[in-house]
Structure 1
Amino acid sequence: MPCFDPNSSLLAGMDQTALRASLASAQQVYLALSTGGQAESLSYTQGDGTRSVTYTRANLAQLAAAIQLMQAQLGIVVAPRRALRLTFTRR
């Protein structure tokens, strides 16, 4: 797995405060969509202007990937999930 380089990512140069606000907004949209909420659009500001993206449940994975990119850019380390192993014993 290649290392993430914040200097060459798509979000390089974006203001940290704006990036944190965008992350919070994206996470709220993700929660609303994944729980059946009505919100489906996300707006964020980049150096060259304001962007607006509409997500639906069909592309929740793309939204999750965008959230992970913002987290990586901000240096937020998200531990990978570990598989649960269940063992059953007889009595």
Structure 2
Amino acid sequence: MATNDLCSPLYGMTDAQLQAALAAAQQAYIDLRTGDKAVTVAYAQGDGSRSVTFQTTNLAAVRMFIRDLQAALNPGVKMCKRRRMVPLF
């Protein structure tokens, strides 16, 4: 198993499962950034109208999930986080 953190929701997943989840999360991030994911689609046919609604996801949540997956796959590597901005006078 890749992660040793018992508190992690990813604990117990194999490396292959984590890699698959990471690939799916990265693809979802790309789709959201490029606008390829539809939120609501509606159309009318002869027998009535139909609509499909997808759940909206924010980019920050997907980025945090990707970071968690990367941390689980590489437990010894510290993930880079942005430093806070400090004004210089």
Instruction: Normalising by structure 2, report the TM-score.
Output: 0.57
Alignment correspondent of 1:16 = 15
Runs of 4+ in 1 over 2 A off after TM superposition: 5-8, 76-82
Find the counterpart in structure 1 of residue 37 from structure 2: 38
Counterpart residue identity of residue 25, structure 1: A
Amino acid at match of 2:30: L
Give 1 or 2 for the bigger CA radius of gyration: 2
Native 8 Å contact 1:71 1:77 kept in 2 = no
Letter of the 1:74 counterpart: L
Question: What TM-score, normalized to structure 1?
Answer: 0.56
Q: Any residues of structure 2 matched to 1:1-91 within 5 Å, and which?
A: 6-38=5-37, 56=56, 59-75=58-74, 78-80=79-81
Q: Which moved more, 1:26-35 or 1:68-77?
A: 68-77
Retained in 2: the 8 A contact 1:30–1:63? Answer: yes
Identify unmatched segments of 5+ residues in structure 2.
Answer: 40-53, 84-89
1:31 maps to a residue whose letter is: I
Q: Tell me if the contact between 1:26 and 1:63 (Cα under 8 Å) persists in the aligned partners.
A: yes
- Backbone CA RMSD of aligned residues: 2.9
Greater RCO structure (CA 8 Å; 6+ sep): 2
